[in-house]
Structure 1
């Protein structure tokens, strides 16, 4: 099997690969958490929050594809397997059962804030080793921050 030759040196590849893998895990789990909340949502603001959760899912899914494809482009194998995500994710998980809309809004707001913090660390970590990956992470961070603002405004 042929391997993709990386345009990056070993140290840069390691730093960038770690940043991309962490971003992939965060985005996969964010999409799953948001979908779980979407399916089990109840409350007065059901429709607005229900539809807004789908925006989070779409953002996370698009971002995970971009992140995984960037990893492969620089010679790193992305790992989005369920076991990997379950073992490495630090995204807070929703409770089982029906979820009140106000609690979902608060939880998603907090979850986005945590993920944004980690993305900002990854942006800083890729400044020197790979500005191209940094640019990708900046774009995703911008969209996560926009969604954070919109969810925070509902609290």
Structure 2
């Protein structure tokens, strides 16, 4: 069995993201990753009427956010960008509002998670045009996750709707 380490440089893909594209994808990655964390925080601590439905819906949001984080990070690597998903970076740079630490009643949990989703969607929409101009493939990822998160925001916000 050989223990020789290969140290040659990897072959790089021909397209390399500009600094602007890299920054936009990193900002998107940060917010989508933060959403997965705060949605799980709310999922663990929600109480009250319609608990089970909201508890399960929050897992859907977590799944979308985790999938989005992975899609963004892998796209970044494919275009020669190093994604940074370290906890300190996520905490320092996210636009997602901080989640409550204590138990949260269902209607307040809905309001919070909709605001968190909205923060992520604002980031994705804010960078979309410049991402699309440089890399339509990456903008397609942003579009896909924007659509999924906007749908979840609508589903969740409808729970607190009054006629």
TM-score normalised by the chain length of structure 2: 0.88
CA-atom RMSD, angstroms?
1.4
Aligned residues: 153
- Shifted more, 60-69 versus 108-117: the winner is 108-117
Alpha-carbon distance in structure 2 between the residues aligned to 1:5 and 1:17: 16
Structure 1 stretches (4+) deviating beyond 2 angstroms?
Answer: 1-9
Q: Is the 8 A contact 2:124 2:142 kept in 1?
A: yes
How far residue 5 of structure 1 moved from its aligned partner, in angstroms, is 3.1
Alpha-carbon distance in structure 2 between the residues aligned to 1:36 and 1:128: 36
1:4 to 1:22, Cα distance in 2 relative to 1, 3 A: farther
Q: Which has the larger radius of gyration?
A: 2
How far residue 121 of structure 1 moved from its aligned partner, in angstroms, is 1.3
1:132 aligns with 2:141: no
Q: Is the 8 A contact 2:95 2:120 kept in 1?
A: no
- 2:55 aligned partner: 50
Question: 27, 39, 45: which one pairs with 1:34?
Answer: 39
Alpha-carbon distance in structure 2 between the residues aligned to 1:136 and 1:118: 13
Alpha-carbon distance in structure 1 between the residues aligned to 2:30 and 2:152: 19
- Where in structure 1 are there 5+ consecutive unaligned residues? none
TM-score normalised by the chain length of structure 1: 0.92
Alpha-carbon distance in structure 2 between the residues aligned to 1:3 and 1:87: 31
- Where in structure 2 are there 5+ consecutive unaligned residues? 1-6
